[in-house]
Amino acid sequence: MAMPKSMRLLAVVTLGIFFWLLYQIFTVTPPPPESPSLKIDKWTKDPNLDPTGEPPEPLHRVVGNNYAPDNPQSNRINATLLSLVRNEELNDMLQSMRDLERTWNHKFNYPWTFLNDVPFTEEFKTKIRAATKAEVRFDVVPKAHWDVPSWINNDLYLESTALLKEQEVQYSDKISYHQMCRWNSGLFYHHPALANYRYYWRVEPKVHFFCAVDYDVFRYMQDHNKTYGFTINLYDSPQSITTLWPETMKFLGDHPEYLHKNNAFDWLRDATRRPDHNMKANGYSTCHFWSNFEIADMEFWRSRPYEEYFKHLDRAGGFFYERWGDAPVHSIALGLFEDKERIHWFRDIGYQHIPFFNCPNSPKCKGCVTGRFTDGEAWLNREDCRPNWFKFVGTG
Ligand SMILES: Nc1nc2c(ncn2[C@@H]2O[C@H](COP(=O)(O)OP(=O)(O)OP(=O)(O)O)[C@@H](O)[C@H]2O)c(=O)[nH]1
Ligand SMILES: [Mg+2]
């Protein structure tokens, strides 16, 4: 029996769709999803998973009252714990302090220095003093260090940061963030409260410390000839530093003599792991030491190469027209002007600043998951650039 014409048409269309679907299933393979974890793909072994002990001797420890807070002959060296912080961050600061006092400073009693662009409140001072047996000093950042410099054009600042905001550069429209980054890059070590100190350990509000540390980390820096200690390495947002590397290259062109012969240049210009970052940042990998944690020797920042480098950058205006952070600025300077052997990974200091961790494999650590880099979304693992540092320099 012959089918009506409309039924024949329907059958043909249905068959057509059927074969089209078969074709799609067997010929078009979907692209593999981008791996959220470069960490696992691109390095063979995460050193945080190795059993982690203390760094090599000599290490200075508590014996009797050699680190007692009121001992005028103590073994402490000229070093301080250092925080730039706002009054509103009191509770978050207390939480960071509690962790650091519990894991380390209740043994060594290094003084704390708190700085702010406005005076600290009495409540802030009272509660902070109560959180430590060590000496505490509060001070204000000199206006000349904090103010936007005279050569920055406000209209240009507003235009530039509106563009950065469109590109979702975090905090780009917050002037105080730019001021803070500039101050942390090139001015903090000129604060009169730090004049007699050589080493500092930067501590931010709302960070965590997880592992008991039983040696004097400042003495470690001094005895082992280290300039800079870090825990975490990250990629930066290239949009925030588009001209930082070209400005750096200009400076280096004028001062080739400042390049250290044992530098980490290849680490800075790596383009193999995230070529897109290197391209957008015009030649810089954007890999940096995450500077909310740093234990460092201010002699490096106070040295002529660094001072001149900072002045060059400051004049170029990128702390305001872009959003240059102190982390890439410090890291680039260290990578170029310092001996890479003098940069130390504090693998044994368990640390978190949201959303990243350094969590070693050690019975001395509590409260973090060994080897876990982030507790945020999986794509955040892509921001991990520690493998780069280990590749070019090692874990030393
Ligand atoms: N006194 C003062 N401190 C500031 C100001 N802006 C930032 N800070 C401090 O500078 C440090 C870095 O600022 P954060 O806001 O934590 O910047 P961040 O770590 O890049 O950003 P988050 O991921 O939000 O923590 C912290 O110790 C802040 O308390 C400011 O305007 N005044
Ligand atoms: Mg922070």
Residue 232, judged by CB atoms within 10 A of its CB (0-12, 13-18, 19+), counts as buried
The whole-angstrom separation of Cα 356 and Cα 290 is 10
Per-residue pLDDT of the chain (396 residues; tens, 9 = 90+): 455 676 666 666 666 666 665 554 444 343 333 344 444 345 667 899 999 999 999 999 999 999 999 999 999 999 999 999 999 999 999 999 999 999 999 999 999 999 999 999 999 999 999 999 999 999 999 999 999 999 999 999 999 999 999 999 999 999 999 999 999 999 999 999 999 999 999 999 999 999 999 999 999 999 999 999 999 999 999 999 999 999 999 999 999 999 999 999 999 999 999 999 999 999 999 999 999 999 999 999 999 999 999 999 999 999 999 999 999 999 999 999 999 999 999 999 999 999 999 999 999 999 999 999 999 999 999 999 999 999 999 886
pLDDT at 142: 98
Whose C-alpha lies nearest to ligand 1, atom 22?
354
Tell whether ligand 1 has an atom less than 6 A from the beta carbon of residue 84. Answer: yes
* Residue among 85, 139, 324 whose CB has most ligand 1 atoms within 8 A, to mutate: 85
Residues with beta carbon < 5 A to ion ligand 2?
A: 204
Domain hosting 291: range is 41-392
Residue 5 maps to a domain: no
The whole-angstrom separation of Cα 230 and Cα 324 is 19
Ligand nearest to the CA of 326: 1
The whole-angstrom separation of Cα 178 and Cα 323 is 6
* Residue among 114, 292, 329 whose CB has most ligand 1 atoms within 8 A, to mutate: 292
Residue 248 maps to a domain: yes
Question: Distance from the CA of 273 to the center of ligand 2, in angstroms?
Answer: 26
Residue 205 maps to a domain: yes
Whose C-alpha lies nearest to ligand 1, atom 10?
84
Question: Distance from the CA of 395 to the center of ligand 1, in angstroms?
Answer: 29
pTM, full prediction: 0.90
Contact (CB, 8 A) for 229 and 338: no
Give the CATH number for residue 177.
3.90.550.10
Tell whether ligand 1 has an atom less than 6 A from the beta carbon of residue 292. Answer: yes
The whole-angstrom separation of Cα 365 and Cα 354 is 18
Number of domains in the chain: 1
Chain centre distance of CA 90:
22
Tell whether ligand 1 has an atom less than 6 A from the beta carbon of residue 85. Answer: yes
Whose C-alpha lies nearest to ligand 1, atom 23?
354
Question: Distance from the CA of 86 to the center of ligand 2, in angstroms?
Answer: 12
Residue 21 maps to a domain: no
Residue 23 maps to a domain: no
The whole-angstrom separation of Cα 85 and Cα 83 is 6
pLDDT at 42: 55
Question: Distance from the CA of 85 to the center of ligand 1, in angstroms?
Answer: 7
Cβ-Cβ contacts under 8 Å for 31 (sequence gap 6 or more): none
Residue 30 maps to a domain: no
Question: Distance from the CA of 321 to the center of ligand 2, in angstroms?
Answer: 21
Catalytic residue positions, numbered: 294
pLDDT at 33: 39
Provide the 8-state DSSP code for 123: H
pLDDT at 258: 98
pLDDT at 29: 40
Ligand nearest to the CA of 145: 1
Q: Which of left, alpha, beta for 283 (phi over 0: left; psi -120 to 50: alpha)?
A: left
Phi/psi for 295 (5° steps) reads -120, 115
Question: Distance from the CA of 208 to the center of ligand 2, in angstroms?
Answer: 12
Tell whether ligand 1 has an atom less than 6 A from the beta carbon of residue 181. Answer: no
pLDDT at 10: 66
Ligand nearest to the CA of 325: 1
* Residue among 93, 120, 204, 319 whose CB has most ligand 1 atoms within 8 A, to mutate: 204
Residue 341 maps to a domain: yes
Residue 95 maps to a domain: yes
